[in-house]
């Protein structure tokens, strides 16, 4: 495999791009694997990569029902941050952010992680205090976090709506500078290429149709490309977790599937250099500008449960209102596309990386809004769990029994209603 570098790009420019080969093999399924990861998104591919790289494991396959990265990996707003503050969540996302910071080098694939800063606008002294609680925790646990007063904010982002007549005048901002955005598809391809180079078989168009069990263990998976025997199985299929869980005869999960929409405008010359978050008066809105120039927006869930990957109008209106509210110069800017992804919304807004009632089945699910930024960390800890058959301390509480114990990982305090955990 040709190593990616300025040199190889230059050389291939001169030689007619001759050296470039498949970034990952078109693997045909073997009859048996030691470890089968179901789901070829960022999480699944990252898990396979770290299983091979960190734990030296071999004979691993990733099964993807369509094309890799076709689920939420390609349907998000590409924001990476670690400003979670509940114990466990905090350490998890911090580790993930650290992996992000060196991911391009680690994978030899430019995932374009741009640490442009994540700026949450604050509109009242009470909101500053509420944010400070979380951001102080970030700092005390070794992350970066700042509160910008209005003067500094105006310098950093000059053309926000600073009018005192705004419905919610801006007072300050909570900032994580190391946070930012990345190129989501590149993350998928980068992990696929790196996992493949460690010998992982990435099998596309391979949909699991049945889970074969024997004495509390999974023996094999029935797929659209034949039966595949498996030593250990990891589910990493955001949006479809409940269906696979059901196939494995395991009943219900503390998860609901909801759709989350994303929006992009026509490309513009740089107008916004940060990720900006606006959440006041019941709104929830975040925006950034892609390197190509499109402004990328995200908002609230549609609130009703859905597996349909398509958008609707009320949220489009809502998101536009929020955008204009903080950047009134965008009135004439046009929305180019909107789409939606299906999120596993959990009952406390936190994830599951855990063992299951089946001995050799492991679960990675329940990522709510956080799946993209969690990708590297989830792969890392999920691989650790599968390889060692016991959870790392950081995810020890992120199991299915936590509700029984009464452990609280709820960042928002919204309670056991999945639609409220944006």
Partner 1 sequence: MIRIPCPYCGERDHSEFTYGGDGSITYPALDAPMADWLEAVFERENVRGLQLETWHHVMGCRMWLLVERDTMTHEIHSVRAAHTGLAAVLEEKS
Partner 2 sequence: MTARRLDKGGRIDRSHSLKFSWDGRKIRGHAGDTLASALLANNEQILGRSFKYHRPRGIMSAGVEESGAIVTVGEGARRDANVKATTQELFDGLVATGQNAWPNVRHDAGAVSNLFSRFLVAGFYYKTFMGLPPFEWGEGTGWWMRYEKIIRRAAGMGTASREPDPDNYEHAHAFCDVLVVGAGPAGLNAALTAARAGLDVVLVEQDFEAGGDYLNQASDGSRLSELLSDLETAGVRLMTRTTAFGLYDHGTAGLLERVTNHLANPSQHMPRQRFWTLRAKQTILATGALERHVVFGNNDRPGVMTAAAARTYLNRFGVLPGEKIVISTNNDSAYIVAVDLAGSGAAVHLLDARSDIHADLAATLKGSDVHLTSGAAALNVRGNKGVSGLETALSSGMGWRQGGIEDCDLVLVSGGWSPVVNLASHRGAKPVWDGNNCCFLPGQTSEPVHMAGAAAGIWQTTACEVSGKAAGAAAANALGKSVATISMSGSAGWAHPISALYEVTVPGKKLKSFVDPQHDVTADDVRLAHREGMVSVEHLKRYTTLGMATDQGKMGNVIGMALMADALGKDISEVGTTTFRPPYTPVSLGALTGRNSGEHFRALRRTPMDRWNRDHEATMTDAGLWHRPWYFARPGETIKEAYIRETTTVRNSVGLCDVTSLGKIAVQGPDATEFLNRIYTNPFAKLAIGKARYGIMLRDDGMVMDDGTTWRLSETNYFMTTTTAHAAKVMVWLEELLHLRWPDLKVHVTSVSEQWAGCAVAGPKSRDVLAACVEDADLVSNDSLPFMGVVEARLKNGVPCRIARISFSGEMASEVYVPSDYAPAMMDLLWKAAEVLDGCLYGMEALGALRIEKGHVTGVELDGRVTIEDAGLGKMASNKKDYIGNVLRQRPDMMREDRARLVGIFPKDRSQTFNAGTILCKSDEVSGHGEGWITGVTYSPTFGHWIGIGFINGGHNAWQDKSVTVADPVRRENVDVEIVSPHMYDPDGGRHLG
DSSP state of 392: -
Site membership for partner 1, residue 350 (CB under 8 A) = no
Enumerate residues 226-265 that contact partner 2 by CB under 8 A: 265
What is the bridge-based pairing of β-strands 201-203 and 60-63?
parallel
Instruction: Please name every residue paired with 289 in a beta bridge, in sequence order, or none if there are none.
Output: 295
Shortest Cβ 250–partner 2 spacing (Å): 22
From 312, 324, 335, 338, residue interacting with partner 1 (rule: CB under 8 A) = 312
Site membership for partner 1, residue 412 (CB under 8 A) = no
Shortest Cβ 211–partner 2 spacing (Å): 26
> 334: which 2 tokens?
């046009």
From 55, 198, 305, 338, residue interacting with partner 2 (rule: CB under 8 A) = 338
Determine whether 297 is exposed, middle or buried from the number of CB atoms within 10 Å of its CB (0-12, 13-18, 19+): buried
Enumerate residues 261-280 that contact partner 2 by CB under 8 A: 265-271, 280
CA distance from start to end of the chain: 41
Please name which of 364, 349, 421, 393 lies closest in space to residue 48, comparing C-alpha atoms. Answer: 364
257 binds, among partner 2, partner 1, none (CB under 5 to 8 A by kind): partner 1
CA distance to 31, 84, 165, per residue, from 221 (Å): 10, 36, 60
From 70, 134, 199, 254, residue interacting with partner 1 (rule: CB under 8 A) = 254
Helix, strand or coil, per DSSP, at residue 380: helix
Enumerate residues 101-120 that contact partner 2 by CB under 8 A: 101-102, 104-105, 108-110, 112-116
300 binds, among partner 1, partner 2, none (CB under 5 to 8 A by kind): none
CA distance to 261, 332, 357, per residue, from 318 (Å): 11, 16, 42
Question: Where does this chain touch partner 1 (CB under 8 A) — which range of 119-127, 179-187, 266-274, 305-313?
Answer: 305-313
Site membership for partner 1, residue 210 (CB under 8 A) = no
Q: How many residues bind partner 2 (CB under 8 A)?
A: 122
Q: How far apart are CA 71 and CA 298, in angstroms?
A: 17
Shortest Cβ 306–partner 1 spacing (Å): 6
Enumerate residues 314-333 that contact partner 1 by CB under 8 A: 314
Site membership for partner 1, residue 283 (CB under 8 A) = no
Q: How far apart are CA 316 and CA 162, in angstroms?
A: 24
Would the CA dihedral through 93, 94, 95, 97 be positive or negative? Answer: positive
Site membership for partner 1, residue 164 (CB under 8 A) = no
From 97, 99, 186, 358, residue interacting with partner 2 (rule: CB under 8 A) = 186
Q: Which residues bind partner 1 (CB under 8 A)?
A: 242-243, 251-257, 303-308, 312-314, 347, 403-404, 416-419
């Amino acid at each position: 495999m040709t190593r990616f570098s300025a040199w190889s790009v230059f050389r291939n420019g001169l030689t007619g791009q001759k050296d470039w080969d498949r970034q990952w093999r078109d693997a045909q399924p073997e009859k048996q694997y030691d470890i089968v990861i179901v789901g070829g998104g960022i999480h699944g591919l990252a898990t396979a990569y770290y299983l091979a790289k960190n734990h030296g494991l071999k004979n691993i396959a990733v099964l993807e029902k369509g094309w890799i990265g076709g689920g939420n990996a390609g349907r998000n707003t590409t924001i990476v941050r670690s400003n979670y503050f509940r114990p466990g969540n905090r350490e998890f996302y911090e580790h993930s952010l650290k992996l992000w910071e060196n991911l391009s080098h680690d994978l030899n694939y430019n995932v374009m992680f741009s640490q442009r800063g994540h700026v949450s606008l604050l509109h009242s002294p009470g909101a500053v205090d509420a944010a400070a609680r979380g951001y102080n925790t970030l700092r005390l646990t070794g992350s970066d976090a700042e509160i910008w007063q209005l003067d500094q904010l105006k310098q950093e982002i000059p053309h926000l709506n600073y009018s005192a007549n705004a419905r919610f005048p801006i007072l300050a901002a909570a900032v994580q500078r190391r946070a930012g955005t990345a190129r989501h598809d590149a993350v998928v391809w980068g992990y696929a290429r790196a996992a493949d180079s460690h010998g992982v078989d990435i099998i596309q168009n391979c949909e699991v149709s049945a889970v074969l069990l024997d004495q509390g263990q999974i023996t094999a998976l029935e797929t659209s490309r034949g039966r595949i025997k498996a030593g250990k199985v990891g589910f990493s299929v955001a949006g479809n977790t409940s269906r696979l869980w059901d196939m494995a005869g395991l009943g219900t999960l503390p998860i609901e599937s909801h759709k989350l929409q994303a929006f992009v405008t026509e490309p513009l010359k740089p107008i916004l250099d940060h990720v900006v978050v606006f959440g006041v008066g019941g709104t929830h809105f975040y925006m950034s500008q892609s390197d190509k120039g499109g402004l990328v927006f995200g908002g609230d869930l549609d609130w009703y449960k859905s597996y349909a990957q398509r958008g609707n109008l009320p949220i489009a209106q809502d998101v536009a209102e929020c955008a204009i509210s903080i950047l009134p110069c965008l009135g004439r800017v046009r929305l180019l596309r909107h789409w939606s992804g299906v999120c596993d919304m959990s009952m406390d807004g936190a994830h599951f990386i855990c063992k299951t009632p089946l001995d050799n089945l492991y679960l990675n699910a329940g990522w709510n809004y956080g799946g993209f930024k969690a990708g590297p960390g989830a792969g890392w800890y999920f691989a650790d769990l599968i390889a060692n058959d016991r959870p790392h301390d950081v995810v020890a509480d992120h199991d299915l029994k936590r509700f029984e114990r009464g452990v609280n990982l709820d960042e928002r305090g919204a309670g056991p209603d999945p639609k409220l955990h944006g």
